[in-house]
Amino acid sequence: MNIVTRALNGLGKLYIGLLLLFLYLPIIIMALMSFNASPFYMLPIEWSTVWYETFFSNGQLIAATWNSIIIALVTTVISAILGTAASLALYRYDFPGKSLLQAALLPPIAIPWLITGTAMLIFFFGVGIGRGLHAIILGHVALALPYVIIVVNARLRTLAPELEEAARSLGANQWQVTWRVTLPWIAPGVIAGGLFAFAVSFDQFVVSYFLATPGHSTLPVEIYAAIRKGFTPEINAVSTIIIVLSMGIMLITARFYKFGGEQ
């Protein structure tokens, strides 16, 4: 290995290290400050769990957290079912407008959520759906579906057609082929798509802000309202809890499913 190669390797490692530092340093500082008793972030840190106690005694934030969790779980289930069914239909059948339909999956991801939220608010009031948790779920499902379909579709493209053909040659009907061959193969893709749907829903602010009703808002909306009134470190506490739980779910999922295809 010559000097130029070693220098390039060193620069590459330095770049990756700086990138990781840029991404994770704010999160680490936020987590540390959530244990600081001072509401003004005075240093050195006076270690305390007072802000976690404040969060768990804040009924409004707790209610908003449960709303976000319930909405995200319902969104995940609905999006995973509908998205998987749509992916199977796009994979197995040819029909007029199929290419246009596949292309139409990308704009909802690219369109700013401010425009999407405004359009949903106008549409929901126009058709009589109105606002509330049911409207938020519908909006979140609409946002999460493209992610699920794209991820599951990518997994389906790795499925060898010979596997399904072999199952049919052994007497399996279409339902048996789907249940025993196709679904086990695309399970990592469905789980990955479900995780995307959960993240999109739980983190969604704009659509939730437009469609929420007083007393039935989500955690991002409540955090925004709390910041407008005056930032307190209890927001750091709830954010740290969310990050720890999210990373835990991801690690557990990665432990049982290698998203490259092997279980």
The ranges assigned to domains in the chain are 59-256
- The confidence band for 156, taking pLDDT boundaries of 50, 70 and 90, is confident
Over residues 243-263, the pLDDT tens digits come to 888 778 777 766 665 554 444
Contact 240, 34 (CB under 8 A): yes
Q: Does residue 134 register a pLDDT over 80?
A: yes
Of residues 229 and 54, more confidently modeled: 54
What spatial distance separates the first Cα and last Cα of the chain, rounded to whole Å? 38
Counting Cα atoms < 13 Å in the Cβ hemisphere of 163 gives 16
> Over pLDDT 70: what percentage of the chain?
94
What is residue 36's three-state secondary structure?
A: strand
Over residues 28-41, the pLDDT tens digits come to 888 888 888 777 77
The C-alpha R_g of the chain, in whole angstroms, comes to 23
One-letter amino acid for residue 153 of the chain = N
Q: For position 260, what pLDDT does the model report?
A: 47
| 36: β partners | 47
> Which helix (H) or strand (E) segment is 28 a member of?
helix 3-33
Q: Does domain 59-256 have CATH number 1.10.10.10?
A: no
State pTM to two decimals. Answer: 0.78
Of residues 77 and 107, more confidently modeled: 77
